[in-house]
A = this chain, B = another copy of it.
Amino acid sequence: MLENKNDSARTPISTVGEFGLIDLLNKEIELKNPSTIMGIGDDAAVLDAKERSVLVSTDMLVEGVHFDLSYAPLKHVGYKAVVENISDICAMNGVAEQILVSVAISNRFTVEAMEELYEGMRLAGRIYGVDIVGGDTTSSMQGLIISITVIGYAEKGTEVRRGGAKEGDLLVVTGDLGAAYMGLQVLRREKEVWKVNPQSQPDLEPYQYILERQLKPEARADIRPLLAQLDVHPTSMIDISDGLSSEVLHICQMSDVGVQLYEEKIPKDPQMITTADEFSLDSSMVALSGGEDYELLFTMPIAEYDKIKGNPNFTPIGHITAKDTPRQLVLRDGSVVDLKARGWNSFDPDYSSDFGKKEE
């Protein structure tokens, strides 16, 4: 699990230089999309949007803030960084086709380490059909910083924004929630154990699903074609990167509507629930506030409910209420509380310290 300190090949970046590194990292890049007219190697990439709207989003990831290389392999970090960006395009009901990748590294990183990072990025590119068309490589004063920009497309007018939810719409989520957060808790615990006893061999088998959700999440690129096939018309959409409650509130705020969200409807994986129990955390709070699941949250006309009924990809978790009505969470016991955002905030040093701690 922890960083391999015994790599035989450890080539300092300075031996190849910036241009050498760029050549090395880019040599295996193949361009697949017809919209990619020209990729890396000029002042800018050249793309052809044809008749489509262009969707653009960007994310910056900082070592020690967004990822910890003592338990996240570089290949997974690269894969996840690309997936997080693709997820933003999925959340617009669009198709991601290009990314630009910028990386800043301190002198502790070797050429081999960079190749591992880019291998993860190229793998995600291949799986999601996304071309790497540009980027920048530079040195940092400390640690690894990754900035990715993704470019996607949607037939004009078909992109789905956050602000389109209407009174009476169903609130629906894909997949299950909270697993990525619990995976992180397991990794952090094992890191503490390892610090005390570096010889320990943790049994991670019981946590396989939640660890994969944390270390190698997937973007729901399958949802757009599935909704089209089912003839379902989402009215608003967002991806769950910061936590369900935070994302529901974003939709409500942008759409100027209220909401009733039902705790008992929130989809959870059994492994997430048992692990939350093990950590004395309330699994509903974890599902509401734990981020990084990269599932999609959307609203849709209630009249189309039959089209998704029983479909394992979709779980209705609430409904949109009128403008000026409250944004509420209906608890399992029927009591109603105001919905609060308690998601990820990189500026909050206390993030994830103890939210959702069960009162015992």
Contacts and interface: CB of A to CB of B under 8 A. Distances in A.
A98 B143 CA distance: 29
Interface string A94-110: 10001010111000000
B18 A345 contact: yes
A50 to B, nearest CB: 9
A140 B43 contact: no
A121 to B, nearest CB: 14
Contacts of A102: 58-60, 147
A100 B85 CA distance: 14
A254 B150 CA distance: 26
A169 interface: no
Contacts of A254: 41-42
A151 B162 CA distance: 23
A163 B46 CA distance: 14
A152 interface: yes
Interface of A: 13-14, 17-19, 21, 37-38, 41-49, 53-66, 88-89, 91-92, 94, 98, 100, 102-104, 133-136, 138-143, 145, 147, 149-152, 154, 156, 159, 161-163, 237-239, 254, 345-349
Copies in the complex: 2
Given A44-B88, A139-B347, A346-B18, A37 B65 contact: no
Contacts of A21: 347
Given A62-B140, A64-B141, A141-B63, A48 B53 contact: yes
Given A161-B38, A162-B41, A345-B18, A92 B46 contact: yes
Contacts of A138: 60-62, 65-66, 346-347
Given A38-B161, A136-B59, A14 B142 contact: no
A5 to B, nearest CB: 21
A-B CB proximity, top 5 nearest: A147-B147, A44-B57, A43-B91, A49-B49, A47-B54
Contacts of A135: 58
A98 B110 CA distance: 35
Nearest to A150: B44
Nearest to A16: B347
A32 to B, nearest CB: 17
Given A13-B347, A41-B162, 15 more contacts: A17-B348, A18-B346, A18-B347, A43-B162, A43-B237, A44-B152, A54-B151, A56-B134, A58-B135, A65-B138, A65-B141, A102-B147, A104-B145, A141-B142, A142-B142
